[in-house]
């Protein structure tokens, strides 16, 4: 055999590039995520607006609304990463051509870039529309980064499970919501604190909780993914 | 040509309570072309998926050897080629992009090889067309090419002549002939015209 085994990093990049190219041409996930996020934003700003909430609870409510909109956006877009392989009957092609680890990591990387990119666009828009001024931008962005990391790991893994089920649409939010609950709660709390005060003492604890959650989700997904993917 | 061998020992497989395969045994070596025959629902596609590692046997064992070295599961994607009617390539990618992606994923980046096969299949002019815009026969030929670009010693084909016209069938014959000098080819089919390719056979659903 005249083949040179590609290393893991190259395979991940190859699968990620394929996902990116496919998505750029079909725009199914991007369109649904952007559309959902913008509609949610407009609805929130129209019905609640910047002045209907008192100043003390503003950061709590707005952080929760921002996380909620990102969670539901991810439910719509990120779940497609494996579901589309089954729908387009390309699952066998991918299974026979590569190993489960690089497939999972390639798809996770794509989901992460997608949702982090969307959050980078949505967050400033949200802040402008709701007149939500963040006092500690650096911490806010760091929390957002780790939260999106955890969100995309779990979403990628659940997408693989959902792709095997018959009720694909309904199953994804049902499965992801309880698993993501600790992440959403901690992120909301940390985002609210970083937005409302310049005090940095909360950061280390929140950072450790979020990074531990993401780490456990990451290694758990890697261990279980092969079983899910091969069945 | 490397020595290669597949030993299937007492294979059992069921979907839920329905037994599909019971006690299948065979052995094939290099230059062998094994035809898996049988009526619809007899388990031909299931057996070829088991052989290619896409499904796992309930009972029994399948062993693969190349040059006396046992092939492990983690190496299947390099040593196996697979083409089935149940499978598709990426609709949003062009013919060229699909073949390049799938061969590069296996560690082969031979652009000339891709070009040669596309010319043999009379698909070179369609190389920049999106896969979704191809006819069913053209799609089948691209799928066949994708299964042999990395020159696998083990080639598994499920109903390979589906949707192929006369020229396509000639192209398929050439591919199977080429595979004889590379290793083993296993074809699952109930099309009698494909029986001529084989020198061994397994009949299911008797």
The one-character DSSP state at B134 is S
- pTM higher than 0.80: yes
Instruction: List the single best residue of A96, A226, A229 to mutate versus B (max B Cβ within 10 A).
Output: A96
- Are B92 and A14 a contacting pair at CB < 8 A? no
Confirm or reject contact between B197 and chain A (CB < 8 A): no
* Averaged pLDDT, groups of 10, chain A, 231 residues long: 67 94 89 86 82 80 88 83 91 93 95 91 87 87 93 93 79 86 92 85 90 96 90 69
ipTM of the complex: 0.90
Q: Averaged over B118-146, what is the pLDDT?
A: 95
Per-residue pLDDT reduced to its tens digit, B42-62: 899 999 999 999 999 999 999
Residue A196's pLDDT is what?
A: 85
Distance (Å) of CA B51 to CA A183, B35, B182, B189: 42, 13, 18, 15
C-alpha distances out from residue B48 to A74, A190, B54, Å:
37, 53, 9
Residue of B nearest to A101 (CA): B74
**Pairwise CB contact (< 8 Å): A4 & B80:** no
Chain B residue with minimal CA distance to A90? B88
Provide the β-strand partners of residue B65.
B5, B70
The residue in chain B having the minimum alpha-carbon distance to the alpha carbon of residue A13 is B105
| B3/A contact by beta carbon, under 8 A | no
Helix or strand holding residue A106 (H, E): helix A100-130
Nearest to A19 by CA among A116, A87, A97, A104: A104
Residues from chain B that touch A95, judged by Cβ atoms under 8 A, are 54
A28: chain B residues, CB-CB within 8 Å: none
pLDDT tens-digit profile of A167-192? 666 788 888 889 999 999 999 999 99
Question: Around A202, how many Cα atoms within 13 Å sit in the side-chain half-sphere?
Answer: 19
């Amino acid at each position: 055999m005249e083949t040179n085994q590609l290393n893991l990093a190259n395979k991940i990049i190859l699968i990620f590039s394929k996902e990116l190219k496919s998505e750029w041409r079909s725009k199914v996930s991007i369109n649904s995520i952007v559309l959902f996020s913008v509609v949610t934003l407009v609805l929130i700003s129209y019905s609640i607006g910047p002045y209907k909430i008192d100043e003390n609870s503003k950061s709590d409510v707005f952080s929760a609304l921002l996380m909620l909109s990102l969670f539901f956006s991810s439910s719509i877009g990120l779940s497609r990463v494996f579901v589309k392989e089954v729908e387009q009957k390309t699952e066998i092609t991918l299974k026979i051509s590569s190993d489960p680890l690089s497939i999972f990591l390639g798809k996770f990387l794509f989901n992460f870039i997608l949702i982090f990119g969307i959050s980078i666009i949505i967050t400033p828009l949200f802040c402008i529309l709701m007149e939500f001024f963040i006092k500690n931008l650096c911490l806010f962005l760091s929390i957002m980064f780790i939260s999106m990391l955890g969100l995309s790991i779990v979403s990628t893994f659940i997408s693989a499970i959902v792709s095997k089920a018959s009720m694909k649409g309904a199953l994804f939010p049902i499965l992801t919501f309880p698993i993501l609950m600790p992440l959403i709660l901690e992120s909301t709390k940390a985002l609210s604190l970083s937005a409302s005060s310049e005090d940095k003492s909360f950061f280390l604890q929140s950072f450790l909780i979020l990074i531990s959650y993401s780490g456990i989700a990451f290694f758990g997904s890697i261990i279980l993914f092969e079983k899910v993917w091969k069945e | 040509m490397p020595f290669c061998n597949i030993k299937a020992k007492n294979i059992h497989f069921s979907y839920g309570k329905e037994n599909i395969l019971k006690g299948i045994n065979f052995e094939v070596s290099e230059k062998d072309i094994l035809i898996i025959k049988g009526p619809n629902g007899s388990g031909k596609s299931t057996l070829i998926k088991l052989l290619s590692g896409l499904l796992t046997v309930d009972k029994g064992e399948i062993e693969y050897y190349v040059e006396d070295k046992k092939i492990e599961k983690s190496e299947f994607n390099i040593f196996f080629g697979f083409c089935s009617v149940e499978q598709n390539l990426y609709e949003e990618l062009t013919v060229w992009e699909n073949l390049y992606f799938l061969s590069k994923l296996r560690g082969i980046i031979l652009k000339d090889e891709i070009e040669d096969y596309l010319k043999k299949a009379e698909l070179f002019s369609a190389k920049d067309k999106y896969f979704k815009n191809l006819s069913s026969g053209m799609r089948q030929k691209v799928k066949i090419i994708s299964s042999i670009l990395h020159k696998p010693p083990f080639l598994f084909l499920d109903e390979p002549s589906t949707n192929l016209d006369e020229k396509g069938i000639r192209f398929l014959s050439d591919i199977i002939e080429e595979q004889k000098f590379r290793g083993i080819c296993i074809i699952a089919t109930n099309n009698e015209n494909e029986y001529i390719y084989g020198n061994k056979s397994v009949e299911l659903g008797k």
